[in-house]
Amino acid sequence: MLSRWPERGEWFLDPLREMQRMQDKVNRIFSDVEGTTGTSLPAVNVWNSEDGVMLTSEIPGIDVRDIDISVVGDTLTLRGSRTKKELKQGETYHRRERGSGGFARRIQLPYTVDADKVEARYEKGILSIKLPRSDADKPRKINIKTA
């Protein structure tokens, strides 16, 4: 993958970025460790602060009852399924880009979270999950005693 030197404006080959791009492609192919069938896994955005992790995923057309979220330690598992739309007699697809079937996604979080305080919202096809950091995992300031 080509990158540009900011100060020089010259292009150069960046083998590390190219390896990361290839690794991301391979991960997407093999990330369905559960062996479910269906479409590619939903993309997620994950960001964190000292207080917790926030995750969003676009999964339109799925009933909230067909989504399962579980947290164990520092791993979040997101599962769901989209039912196949049956066409009426004589109808055929002209274009079909949204697939159907099940998906499973396991996301390693940067630290353990308090599973009892996890909040999830599903609105307009966007799943938002707030994962508060476990108190036991938060950094603590150590006071130094003097003699």
Q: What is the pLDDT of residue 8?
A: 62
61 inside domain: yes
Q: DSSP labels for 4-66?
A: E-TTT--EEE-HHHHHHHHHHHHHHHH--TT---SSPPPPEEEEE-SSEEEEEEE-TT--GGG
d(CA 95, CA 26): 27
Are 4 and 44 found together in one domain? no
Q: Which two tokens stand for residue 20?
A: 């990361």
Q: What is the pLDDT of residue 80?
A: 92
145 inside domain: no
Q: What is the pLDDT of residue 11?
A: 64
Are 22 and 76 found together in one domain? no
74 inside domain: yes
d(CA 55, CA 32): 19
89 inside domain: no
Q: Domain tally for the chain?
A: 2
* pLDDT averaged per 10 residues, the chain (length 147): 60 74 77 47 88 92 91 92 87 82 90 92 95 85 87
d(CA 49, CA 110): 10
**Where in the sequence is the domain holding 69, given as residue range(s)?**
34-84+100-137
CATH number at residue 66: 2.60.40.790
Q: What is the pLDDT of residue 36?
A: 42
